[in-house]
Copies of this chain bind each other. A is one copy, B any other.
């Protein structure tokens, strides 16, 4: 097998290749002034090609992935695996109004046509419980960064309260808490639009305690910023945030920092200055398991 990466996921893919002892190649990408993309693969491909790229800000990347996958087949690759630590379009899983495209299913189906395997980390699934319901492949593999985040926090803190942003995060946050023996709680979240959320803290004493908010993604950052503010009001001694996917759209990071967070840590699923929790060990185990 051979690890290939688009330039935006190059450093992480090289670490993965290194762990697997597999050859690494960079995919060349050029965007023309008119918005079209030119994708160039290494001309020598092995039978099994693993392409690595997270799908934040996804539309350009999806078209480029299609150009990649179909060219890889033409150049003789027999098996093409996608490692997309951040997967896109996983939130639109029903038509909220008649006529809406259910993009989770359509993009999932498309990825299943292009790739033989899809590996991802902490996808934001709401109403489905298995990634295969979105991506109809036997090898649609859903990994969790919980272990890596737990390891990281366990080395930093003797004790802290872990706080999940909503009821859906309970299983995930309780797992991390159990792993390192910390206390945890989950807040209550109601979304009122792209950027508006209403948060209620759980009935717990945060006064004079360090709290780590744990979330699978920071997109507009409104949820995180609001929760940080509420924890400040509740007297928490220090507030930190640990997140899997640092999307940070627009002014999200500034918003979160202005709310008074002491530190933000994220995984390297998306390259960002806060990325300090590496996923190469998790991903290399997963790649080995599908071979």
Contact = CB atoms under 8 A, between A and B. Distances in A.
Interface of A: 28, 32-43, 56-60, 62-64, 66-68, 70-71, 75, 88-89, 91-92, 97-103, 106-107, 109-110, 194-195, 219-220, 247, 249-250
Contacts of A219: 33-34
A91 B57 CA distance: 25
Contacts of A247: 34
Nearest to A39: B101
Contacts of A109: 70
B250 A71 contact: no
A35 B56 contact: yes
A57 B35 CA distance: 5
A270 to B, nearest CB: 11
A54 to B, nearest CB: 12
Contact of A92 (B38, B60, B194): B38
A98 B44 CA distance: 9
Q: Does more than half of chain A's interface fall in helix, strand or loop, or is it mixed?
A: loop
Contacts of A220: 33-34
Contacts of A100: 38-41, 71
A36 B104 CA distance: 11
Nearest to A110: B66
Contact of A71 (B66, B102, B195): B102
Most chain B beta carbons < 10 A, residue from A42, A98, A101: A101
Contact of A99 (B40, B63, B64, B194): B40
A67 B109 CA distance: 11
Contacts of A71: 99-102, 106
Contact of A106 (B40, B41, B70): B70
20 contacts: A32-B194, A33-B249, A34-B219, A34-B247, A34-B249, A35-B57, A36-B88, A38-B92, A39-B100, A40-B100, A40-B101, A41-B100, A59-B60, A60-B60, A67-B103, A67-B107, A70-B101, A70-B109, A71-B102, A75-B99
